[in-house]
Structure 1
Amino acid sequence: MQIKTKKQNADGIVRLETSGEIKEILIKEDILKPEETKIHLCFRGKNSSGIIELSKEEIDSIYKQVTPKMKMLGNIKVMRFAK
């Protein structure tokens, strides 16, 4: 997984990039308030780690955009070579 983001600081806008593996997916759900469900993607890389928090609406939006393209993704083969 790769993360690319922009951050505002005193020098202007700085671009940050990091990569890592998703280690855990947490779902926080409240029975009384199901609309406030949050999904946390916990990741860890060589020099960084963090948590990406997504709302139910954001997950639904991602799902709607990815679902029609699943057939195209199904034809992809991952090739790994020894270094």
Structure 2
Amino acid sequence: MNLKMRYANSAGYIKLENAVAIKEVMINEDFLHPDNESIAIGFRSRECSGLLEFTPDEFEKVSNSVKRKIHLIKGFKVIGSENAGKKG
């Protein structure tokens, strides 16, 4: 995965670009406080590591957006129990 980020500091804008590997997908379920549930994607490279953390609503928006546009990508493979072995 390529990580690209731009942020502002006192010197202006700084761009960060790094190739990282997705290491883990974590789902935090909080039965006592259901509003605090989150989905996090952990990534790591030699130079950096971090988390992309989503609320369930944010993740649903990203998922729906990808589902609508997945036909534009040639040669993808869907991995999962329901769609195992299907190629796009």
1:76 is aligned with what amino acid? G
User: What are the ranges of 5 or more consecutive residues in structure 2 without an aligned counterpart?
Assistant: 77-88
* 2:59 alignment partner in structure 1: 59
Query: What RMSD, in angstroms, separates the aligned Cα atoms of the two structures?
Result: 1.9
TM-score, normalisation: structure 2: 0.74
Task: Write the letter of the residue equivalent to 1:13.
Answer: Y
Residue 41 of structure 1: how far off its partner (Å): 0.8
Q: Which moved more, 1:39-48 or 1:29-38?
A: 29-38
TM-score by length of 1: 0.78
How far residue 28 of structure 1 moved from its aligned partner, in angstroms, is 0.6
Summarize deviations over 1:48-77 as a string: whole Å, max 9, x none.
11111111111100111111233343x326
Paired letter, 1:2: N
Is 1:76–2:72 an aligned residue pair?
no
Relative contact order higher in (CA < 8 Å, ≥ 6 apart): 1
Q: Distance in 2 between matches of 1:8 and 1:48?
A: 19
**Alignment-derived partner of residue 36 in structure 1:** 36
- Helix, strand or coil at the partner of 2:68: helix
Contact 1:5 1:15 in 2 (8 A): yes
Q: Is the 8 A contact 1:35 1:56 kept in 2?
A: no
- Secondary structure at the aligned position of 1:50 is classed as strand
Which stretch shifts more, 43-52 or 27-36?
27-36
Verify the 8 A CA contact 1:4 1:15 in the aligned structure 2. Answer: yes
